[in-house]
Amino acid sequence: MAYKSIITDDMEHCYICGAPACKTPHHIFNAANKKKSEKYGLMLPICFECHYKIHNVPGKMTETKKFGQRMFEQYYPELDFLKIFKKNYL
């Protein structure tokens, strides 16, 4: 599956550190919103080390979701983030 991102065109390199990215990009909104992340391009190409940090360093996941919401609202100004994702991260 070819993933798209509204954040970057370079899906081959980690968005955070520039290292080669994992084959499957990070879904900014996971679990029940994983498919919505794919649909709206809320995907980040990241390496294994940065992916680990997002999930395990306190505050990184929240920071990433805030970034994702800001990017969504910039890219899709006509859509209501809260209505689609059911939570405001800002």
pLDDT per residue as tens digits for the range 43-64: 999 999 999 999 999 999 999 9
The predicted model scores a pTM of 0.89
Q: What is the pLDDT of residues 13-46, one digit of tens each?
A: 999 999 999 888 999 998 899 999 999 999 999 9
**Span 2-15, mean pLDDT?**
92
pLDDT on residue 10 = 94
Are 26 and 44 spatial neighbours (Cβ–Cβ below 8 Å)?
Answer: yes
Residue 1: the pLDDT is 66
What is the distance between the alpha carbons of residues 70 and 13, in angstroms, rounded to a whole number?
A: 22
- Looking from the CA of 59 toward its CB, the CA atoms found within 13 Å total 0
Pairs from 48-52 (Cβ < 8 Å, separation ≥ 24): 48/22, 49/17, 49/19, 50/14, 50/15, 50/16, 50/17, 50/19, 51/22, 51/26
pLDDT over threshold 80, residue 2: no
**The residue to which tokens 């809320």 are assigned:** 42
- For 63-88, write each residue's pLDDT tens digit: 999 999 999 999 999 999 999 999 99
Residue 7: C-alpha distances to residues 10, 57, 69 (Å): 9, 22, 11
Q: What is the mean pLDDT of residues 2-6?
A: 88
